[in-house]
């Protein structure tokens, strides 16, 4: 038998199905992309070999990639400012996009997308991103710390790469694997990934919607601080704000809100979609979507771009527009920073947020011992002890994942039985994972780091401190219902908005759709509910507003 050729050897490094996908992707490249790999023999030889094999395999797949390999002791390494092994640079004569560490696991997705972005350039960047970053008057360096097992890290790294491609003269973007760069991660106080640092001045934990990421990069501040400062700076009184008559105001630019915008405009209603954050809602933070009809597999942020592009063909979407007040009347008054809307009706598509424990120490140790993503942060606690809080599918799945990583894992559950699927319960039992029943966490304990959690047994009314290096919280989601409550909208016992089959609430001309209504919280149900709500509003407005001239007379 003849030995494998180099081409055969490196081609086999990538599975057949992936090679087909990459071959198609690379065939659509606009220009050749250069990859430079820098390595040095030593303790990282395993990572060096993986990185070289992967990049060689990519190089063999297409003539749209040119690969160059260098040692750290070369003039090129000094010219590029490279001092760690392995390091991968993408088209370094055009951009400062680099990977510190082997782009393995989930990080490989970020590598592929960085090649795609470098090939297609700024023409493939969203106009809103280019507009935001065109206002930069000084340089920005982005460091995204990641882990091969973190499904959210590629999305945050891709945000950084988009910024570097949109404004290459001022922005550099580095994806840093915590696996090989533990000292650097410790220097930046990384305890949870993705962990993003801008200019060594401000840091964020978690994946963010693209436009939110870009706004924070521009101002070097959290979005809430930006909105607060802009509100104070604008300082417009109600009389000074733009005043707009509107049929339907949609609050929330997730799948439900964007779908409603399309159907409202197609029905002949004037409408606007408002969102405090960027577009997309929870879907923008979803690494991979595999159950949305028509898309067998698609990244969440890619699906957001498709949905938002479609919605903008019909209606205006105002991002970073926080609703400051809402008042019910013959016309519903919605006040934002810049505008006052008088609407016939309002659709609440305000979504959900991660449910927190709400105990002392949780905020203090968030990202440094308190986590809401076991796949993201589990690697930090190999050989340690952790508590998983919850009793549903997510909690048990997290516990099993952590156990398999070699983490001493205990589940804390408020009930006497789990809500999770039986197959997960059987797996937890088989793995011998410890369980503390009928108990809740009342405090997270520690000084500089988590050392224990105070646990209360609600059945026996006793408390004890349980040693732990971290807590992984998986107790569900909380609906965003502040505006609904101000309007007197009725809620279910679990806090979600109560609607009928047409998406009407108990308050006339107030509708709700998407995750905020509970039930089956899926993208497909959210888009369907948004469409139904818009059509219901059209029907109602035709009934309530038969004499439009009378309605708008002296309305202000």
Instruction: Tell me which residues are annotated as active site.
Output: 373, 376-377
Closest by CA position to 217, among listed 154, 281, 163: 163
Long-range pairs for 402-407: beta carbons < 8 A, 24 or more residues apart? 402/374, 402/378, 402/472, 403/431, 403/433, 405/378, 405/379, 405/381, 406/382, 407/378, 407/381, 407/382, 407/383
Q: What is 17-48 written as a DSSP string? A: HHHHHHHHHHHT-SS-EEEEEEE-SSTTHHHH
Q: How many residues does the chain have?
A: 556
* 92: helix, strand or coil: coil
Q: What distance in Å separates the CA atoms of residue 467 and residue 505, rounded to the nearest whole number?
A: 46
Q: Which residues contact 539 (CB under 8 A, 6 or more apart)?
A: none
Q: Are 168 and 135 in contact (CB under 8 A)?
A: no
Strand partners, 341: 244, 334
Residue 439 phi, psi (nearest 5): -140, 150
CA angle 297, 302, 303 (to 5 degrees): 70
Sheet holding 33-39, edge to edge: 65-71, 33-39, 87-90, 96-100, 171-177, 140-146, 195-198, 202-205
């Amino acid at each position: 038998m003849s030995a494998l050729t180099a081409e055969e050897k490196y081609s086999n490094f990538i599975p057949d199905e992936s090679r087909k996908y990459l071959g198609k992707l690379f065939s659509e490249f606009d220009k050749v992309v250069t990859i430079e790999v820098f390595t040095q023999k030593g303790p990282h030889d395993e990572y060096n070999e993986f990185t070289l094999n992967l990049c060689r395999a990519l190089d063999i797949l297409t003539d749209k990639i040119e690969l160059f390999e260098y040692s750290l002791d070369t003039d090129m390494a000094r010219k590029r400012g490279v001092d760690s092994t392995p390091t991968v640079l993408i088209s370094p004569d055009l951009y400062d996009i680099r990977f510190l560490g082997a782009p393995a696991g989930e990080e490989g997705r970020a590598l592929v997308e960085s090649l795609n972005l470098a090939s297609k350039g700024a023409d493939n960047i969203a106009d809103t991103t280019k507009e935001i970053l065109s206002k930069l008057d000084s340089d920005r360096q982005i460091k995204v710390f990641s882990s091969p097992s973190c499904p959210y890290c590629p999305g945050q790294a891709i945000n950084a790469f988009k910024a570097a491609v949109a404004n290459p003269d001022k922005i550099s973007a580095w994806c840093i694997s915590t696996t090989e760069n533990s000292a650097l991660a410790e220097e930046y106080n990384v305890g949870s990934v993705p962990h993003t640092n801008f200019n060594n001045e401000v840091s964020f934990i978690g994946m963010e919607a693209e436009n939110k990421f870009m706004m924070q990069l521009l101002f070097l501040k959290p979005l809430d601080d930006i909105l607060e400062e802009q509100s104070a700076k604008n300082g417009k009184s109600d009389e000074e704000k733009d005043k707009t008559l509107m049929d339907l105001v949609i609050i929330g630019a997730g799948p439900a809100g964007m779908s409603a915008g399309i159907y409202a405009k197609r029905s002949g209603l004037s409408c606007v979609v408002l969102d405090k954050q960027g577009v997309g809602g929870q879907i923008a933070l979803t690494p991979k979507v595999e159950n949305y009809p028509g898309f067998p597999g698609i990244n969440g942020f890619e699906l957001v771009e498709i949905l938002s592009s479609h919605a903008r063909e019909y209606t205006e979407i105002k991002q970073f527009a926080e609703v400051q007040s809402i008042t019910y009347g013959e016309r519903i008054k919605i006040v934002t920073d810049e505008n006052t809307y008088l609407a016939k009706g309002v659709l609440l598509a305000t979504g959900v947020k991660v449910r927190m424990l709400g105990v002392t120490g949780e905020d203090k140790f968030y990202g440094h011992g308190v986590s809401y993503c076991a796949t993201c942060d589990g690697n930090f606690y190999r050989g340690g002890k952790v508590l998983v809080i919850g009793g549903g599918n997510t909690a048990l799945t997290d516990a099993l994942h952590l156990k398999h990583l070699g983490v001493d894992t205990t589940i804390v559950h408020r009930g006497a039985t789990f809500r999770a699927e039986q197959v997960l319960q059987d797996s937890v039992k088989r793995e011998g994972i410890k369980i503390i029943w009928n108990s809740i966490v009342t405090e997270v304990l520690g000084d500089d780091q988590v050392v224990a959690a105070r646990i209360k047994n609600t059945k026996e009314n006793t408390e004890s401190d349980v040693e732990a290096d971290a807590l992984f919280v998986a107790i569900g989601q909380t609906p965003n219902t502040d505006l609904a409550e101000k309007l007197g909208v009725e809620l279910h016992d679990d806090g979600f908005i109560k609607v009928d089959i047409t998406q009407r609430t108990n308050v006339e001309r107030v509708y709700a759709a998407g995750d905020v209504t509970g039930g089956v919280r899926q993208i497909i149900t959210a888009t369907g509910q948004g469409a139904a709500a818009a059509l219901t509003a059209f029907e109602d407005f035709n009934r309530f507003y038969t004499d439009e001239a009378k309605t708008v007379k002296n309305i202000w």
